[in-house]
């Protein structure tokens, strides 16, 4: 570019000097001057053409540089935009993943609090379940144990125990007449049975084959009536006996007597020694755990209510028997 500028200046100066000369008519016949003039004109023309070529080349290079710069800028802008988009997308994905994990962890924490063994399954879940199952099993066996006891008595209806044998059994140990054995967990089941048989008295004599028909019928009717009248009392006493008996004789069972199981329930839920610990444990239970405790207490209430209804039914049968005896007169 520095070589082109002097050439342009010389061409401009020559043009200025030639313009007045062209306006005037000057005839020069000197061949040397004409040759010098033609040579200068040719040189000037060549340099002007060269300068135009160089300018065109430089302009083309400048345009290519500008185009390259624009391409680079466009590529950088695209790259930056892609980076921004990727950064925003990755950030949003990270935020969404974090929120999802937080939500999952929170759900796990809530589920653990609501349904965990410590806070969501009631107080001492395993021990309470064992206690409830043992109590339900013991209370459910009262009727069965009572029937077995009732049928094993020598004064049970349908039995034909000789009076002499029954009297001999009762006289073997006259001390077995105390009803306190019904409420003594350490007493034997045979002692309770002996007390019931002592309360019932001797079996009614049954007719023999040598008796006449009418006399035998009257004796049988009298025996049946006596057995029927005292059967409600025997059933009630057998049920009381069953409340103090355990079911350890059954395979796979280890529960105590129904009275012992009820004492355990009272100890935990009715103000006994374990009530304070159970009451304090309620504060750490979730809503689900409190509902389970409420369900357990409701179940115990229903079981006890059922036992109370059965006791009232037996009591009513005994009173009905007393009224029937008074209305029927002497045996």
Residue linked to tokens 């755990």: 289
pLDDT of residue 249: 46
Closest CA to 207 of 220, 194, 195: 220
Count of Cβ atoms closer than 10 Å to residue 247 Cβ: 20
Q: How much of the chain, in percent, has pLDDT values that exceed 90?
A: 0
- CA 84 vs. chain centroid, Å, equals 45
Residues of the chain with pLDDT under 70: 1-29, 247-255, 326-331
Structure tokens that stand for 163 in this block: 């009076």
Contacts of 173 (CB under 8 A, 6+ apart): 194
pLDDT tens, position by position, 68-101: 888 888 888 888 888 888 888 888 888 888 888 8
Contacts of 222 (CB under 8 A, 6+ apart): 204, 331
Q: Are 140 and 242 in contact (CB under 8 A)?
A: no
Ordered by start, the domain boundaries in the chain are 1-20+30-57, 125-328
pLDDT of residue 171: 84
pLDDT of residue 6: 47
pLDDT of residue 67: 87
pLDDT of residue 256: 74
pLDDT of residue 329: 58
pLDDT tens, position by position, 110-144: 777 777 777 777 777 777 778 888 887 877 777 77
3-state secondary structure 110-148: HHHHHHCCCCCCCCCHHHHHHHHHHHHHHHHHHHHHHHH
pLDDT of residue 40: 87
**H helices within the chain, ranges in order?**
4-23, 31-115, 125-152, 163-171, 189-200, 213-243, 258-269, 275-281, 287-328
Angle among Cα 130, 132, 133 to the nearest 5 degrees reads 65
- The DSSP 8-state label assigned to residue 176 in this structure reads T
pTM value is 0.54
pLDDT of residue 273: 76
Q: Helix, strand, or coil here: 159?
A: coil
pLDDT of residue 251: 41
């Amino acid at each position: 570019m520095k070589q082109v500028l002097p050439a342009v200046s010389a061409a401009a100066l020559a043009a200025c000097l030639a313009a007045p000369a062209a306006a005037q008519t000057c005839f020069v016949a000197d061949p040397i001057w004409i040759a010098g003039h033609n040579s200068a004109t040719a040189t000037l023309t060549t340099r002007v053409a060269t300068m135009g070529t160089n300018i065109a080349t430089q302009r083309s290079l400048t345009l290519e540089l500008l185009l390259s710069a624009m391409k680079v800028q466009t590529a950088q802008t695209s790259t930056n935009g892609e980076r921004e988009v990727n950064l925003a997308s990755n950030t949003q994905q990270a935020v969404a993943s974090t929120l999802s994990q937080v939500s999952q962890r929170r759900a796990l924490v809530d589920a653990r609090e609501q349904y965990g063994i410590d806070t969501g399954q009631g107080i001492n879940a395993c021990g309470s379940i064992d206690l409830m199952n043992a109590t339900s099993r013991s209370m459910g066996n009262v009727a069965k144990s009572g029937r077995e006891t009732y049928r094993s008595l020598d004064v049970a209806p349908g039995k034909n125990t000789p009076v002499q044998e029954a009297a001999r059994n009762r006289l073997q140990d006259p001390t077995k007449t105390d009803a306190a054995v019904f409420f003594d967990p350490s007493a034997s089941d045979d002692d309770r049975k002996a007390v019931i048989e002592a309360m019932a008295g001797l079996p009614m004599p049954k007719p023999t084959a040598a008796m006449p028909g009418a006399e035998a019928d009257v004796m049988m009717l009298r025996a049946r009536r006596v057995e029927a009248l005292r059967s409600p009392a025997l059933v009630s006493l057998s049920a009381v006996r069953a409340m103090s008996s355990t079911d350890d004789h059954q395979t796979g069972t280890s529960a105590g007597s129904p009275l012992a199981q009820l004492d355990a329930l009272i100890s935990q839920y009715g103000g006994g020694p374990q009530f304070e610990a159970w009451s304090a444990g309620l504060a750490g239970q979730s809503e689900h755990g409190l509902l389970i405790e409420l369900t357990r207490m409701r179940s115990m209430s229903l079981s006890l209510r059922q036992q109370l209804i059965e006791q009232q039914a037996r009591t009513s049968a005994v009173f009905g028997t007393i009224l029937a005896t008074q209305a029927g007169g002497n045996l």
